[in-house]
Amino acid sequence: MKFPIFKTKIQGIKKRFDLNNPREREEYFQLKTGQEIKKLRDYFKKGNTFVAYLMGKKNSGKGTYSKMFAEIVDPKSIEHFSIGDMIRKVDKELKDKNKRKELIEFLDKNYRGWYQIKELIKALESRSTKTLLPTELILVLVKREIAERKKKTLFIDGFPRDLDQINFTLFFRDLIGYRDDPDIFILINVPERVIDERIKYRMICPLCQTSRNLKLLPTSKIGYDNDKKEFYLLCDNPRCQAVRMVRKEGDEKGIKPIKERLKRDEKLIEQAFYLHGISKVFLRNSVPQSLAKSNLDDYEITPEYYYQRDEKNKKIKVLEKLWVVPDDEKKPSYSLLPPPVVVSLIKQIVKVLGI
């Protein structure tokens, strides 16, 4: 699979942006893709929506890219819909006596498939990252969840998850009641070395679930824990609070526990890559060093961040250095910050929608 390199550099523009600063990030998007943003906002104002399937390896940035797209374009009209979050919500329902009963009654009335309801409940309660839930169960749960919400543009994260689910995506918009919405595959290419670093240094906001990275994508607010002698990030989402971001348990192991999952994800992306009859958007996170200068501004390239604390005035200084990472072909490459990838996403979606 050859993912195209998308050029975001504008000749003659020398202005630099701090892409970790929300205000400068907004100005950056207006400069790089202002016309396309306006077209999308007009598209949503007319009541139009679309369904997009985010297809990338685990921790390839699916949530980050779709949430930033929504932040920049129209947060009220766009929603990142995570299958994993939905299943975790169902887990909580099963532990509540009344909600468990309501869920079983819903499945008894709406589920169609090869399993008895008691088998489905057992599958939900005993699920693991190595086993997938029946596709028919996922579909009926998604339909229930979407029926409870106002109709919005959806970025579906976590479906399809296996090769036999690819065919279901061809009819997914009909099954969930969106009917005439355009549907799009968004295929994401990220080197495994980048994924490894993303997992090891990932930080999550406990309130809004925004994901950042202590080493590769800090927020504009940094704190220091005197007891643990370590730096941490504070959420800077303008629609959230400045709460301390936290690590997920097990992240320190990187990609080792998910090697098999990454191989399966790669096969899934490859099958979708060659599928006919559905529009596709191609996003790549890395660019070879030899091609970076002609296609990117240097501030769009992911640096490696580190921190120094002045013991006298307690101020924290954020420092950075160039981060060169081998891609999956072992070629020295630069990884991209999310904004230039989202610029590519915005421009390609406008083209796909024909607006």
Burial per residue of 39-75, b for 16 or more beta-carbon CB atoms within 10 angstroms, e otherwise: bbeebbeeebbbbbbbbbbbbbbbbbbbbbbbbbbbe
The tally of CA atoms less than 13 A away on the side-chain side of residue 77 is: 15
Mean pLDDT calculated for residue range 196-223? 90
State the chain's mean pLDDT as an integer.
90
CB–CB of 344/7 below 8 Å?
no
Residue-wise pLDDT for 58-68, tens only, equals 889 899 999 99
Cβ-based neighbour number of residue 33 at 10 Å: 23
* E strand map for 269-337: 279-284, 286-288, 303-309, 316-322, 324-326, 332-335
Helix (H/G/I), strand (E/B), else coil: 26: helix
Mean pLDDT calculated for residue range 220-224? 93
Residue-wise pLDDT for 90-144, tens only, equals 999 999 999 999 999 999 998 888 889 999 999 888 876 666 788 889 889 998 9
Residue-wise pLDDT for 243-264, tens only, equals 999 998 889 899 999 898 899 8
Q: What is residue 131's predicted lDDT score, i.e. its pLDDT? A: 67
Q: What is residue 21's predicted lDDT score, i.e. its pLDDT? A: 87
Residues 244 and 157: their CA atoms lie apart, in Å, by 25
Q: What is residue 239's predicted lDDT score, i.e. its pLDDT? A: 86
Residue-wise pLDDT for 311-354, tens only, equals 887 899 999 988 999 888 889 999 999 999 999 999 999 999 99
Q: What is residue 98's predicted lDDT score, i.e. its pLDDT? A: 94
Residue-wise pLDDT for 159-193, tens only, equals 877 777 777 777 788 878 887 899 999 999 999 99
Residues 243 and 319: their CA atoms lie apart, in Å, by 22
Dihedral sign of CA atoms 228, 230, 236, 237 in order: negative
Residues 350 and 118: their CA atoms lie apart, in Å, by 45
Q: What is residue 106's predicted lDDT score, i.e. its pLDDT? A: 92
The pTM for the full model equals: 0.82
8-state DSSP, 20? T
